[in-house]
Amino acid sequence: QEEKVDLDISGMTCAACSTRIEKGLSRMQGVSDANINLSTETGTISYTPGVVSVDEVIEKVKKLGYDAVVKQ
Ligand code: 9UX
């Protein structure tokens, strides 16, 4: 029952930023994969609903110092 969500992420200025977000999100319970693209300012996160929510993923990105919204 794994799902994927696409995010628009702003505030990344160097390649280490995208790596920081990937590592931070990957450490969360319920997140199985996080691919962040610096040049397109997007990310795809694989997660298990019920273990972690999209809101919690977005809050984590914000705690790391960036902003994120669900990609429309
Ligand atoms: Mo690069 Mo990003 O020095 O927070 S890691 S700007």
C-beta of residue 48 within 8 angstroms of C-beta of residue 7: no
CA-based nearest residue to 24, from 8, 43, 39, 40 = 43
Confidence (pLDDT) at 48: 98
Atom of ligand 1 minimally distant from the CA of 20: 5
30: Cβ–Cβ under 8 A, 6 or more apart, which residues? 47, 48, 50, 51, 52
> Which ipTM was obtained for this model?
0.89
Task: State the pLDDT at residue 57.
Answer: 98
Structure confidence at residue 54 (pLDDT): 98
Check pocket membership of 15 for ligand 1, CB cut-off 6 A. no
Atom of ligand 1 nearest to the CA of 14: 1
Domain boundaries, the chain: 3-70
Residue 2: pLDDT band by 50, 70, 90 thresholds? very high
pTM of the model: 0.95
Minimal-distance CA residue to ligand 1 atom 1: 14
* pLDDT, tens only, 13-51: 999 999 999 999 999 999 999 999 999 999 999 999 999
| Ligand 1 centre distance from Cα of residue 19 (Å) | 9
Architecture of domain 3-70: 2-Layer Sandwich (3.30)
